[in-house]
A = this chain, B = another copy of it.
Amino acid sequence: MAIASKDQKLDALLSAAARVFAERGYHQTSMRDLARASGVSLAGLYYYVESKEELLYLIQKNNFARVIAGMRERLEGATDPVDRLMRFIDNHLDYFAAHMAEMKVLSHEAGALSGEWLQTVEEMKRTYVRSLMDILAGIEEAHGPAHANRRVAAYSLFGMMNWIYNWYDPLGDLGVELLAQNIGRIFLGGYVGLPVAVASLPRTSAG
């Protein structure tokens, strides 16, 4: 009666772990907490994972990979630089809002990894930052010199987007679409002085 495969159980474990990590923080969470939250015995956790740190690593790696994959998908075929930026923001915030716990763990526990695991995640981070910087370069090329340093702009945008785990409630009055619209407007208006019409905020019609 192998209703759930090992991979599926690992996914459930990662999901439960992300929830607890997001609530209590990585270091504050004990393996006993995770055992309780996932319904497995303490020792049982080690059948799926070799250490507490690997749990954190898998959460960060898997979710970051999905963010990057989503970005590539949404950017495919889009050529207008401003459109590309809005899609980038859209993808980031959509995923963030749909996986608040995981993304809080990714944003907030960045310094808790070490060794090769840390390097892997940091390499993904570099890739992702470079993608945004390239988009910004495209915008400058199309709309003239920016009003702010490109690096500052990129990290400011990440700051706006990643900070939301401190205040945003995905189930509250403010929908993700509106949030992305607002952040997109603030950024684009300030970076190159472009007023962003609602029309230039593409929404995927399905999915």
Contacts and interface: CB of A to CB of B under 8 A. Distances in A.
Contacts of A158: 163
Contacts of A167: 155
Contacts of A155: 163-164, 166-168
Nearest to A148: B182
Contacts of A28: 27, 112
A168 B156 CA distance: 11
Contacts of A196: 147
Interface range on chain A (Cβ under 8 Å from partner):
35 or more
Contact of A187 (B25, B27, B182, B186): B186
A185 B160 CA distance: 15
Interface in A126-163: 147-149, 151-153, 155-156, 158-163
A34 interface: no
**Assembly of this chain: how many copies?**
2
A151 B183 CA distance: 11
B159 A162 contact: yes
Nearest to A168: B155
27 contacts: A25-B27, A25-B112, A27-B27, A28-B112, A108-B108, A110-B166, A147-B186, A147-B189, A148-B185, A148-B186, A149-B178, A152-B179, A152-B183, A152-B186, A153-B186, A155-B164, A155-B166, A156-B163, A156-B182, A156-B183, A160-B163, A186-B187, A186-B190, A189-B189, A189-B190, A189-B193, A193-B195
Interface of A: 25, 27-28, 108, 110-112, 147-149, 151-153, 155-156, 158-164, 166-168, 174, 178-179, 182-183, 185-191, 193, 195-196
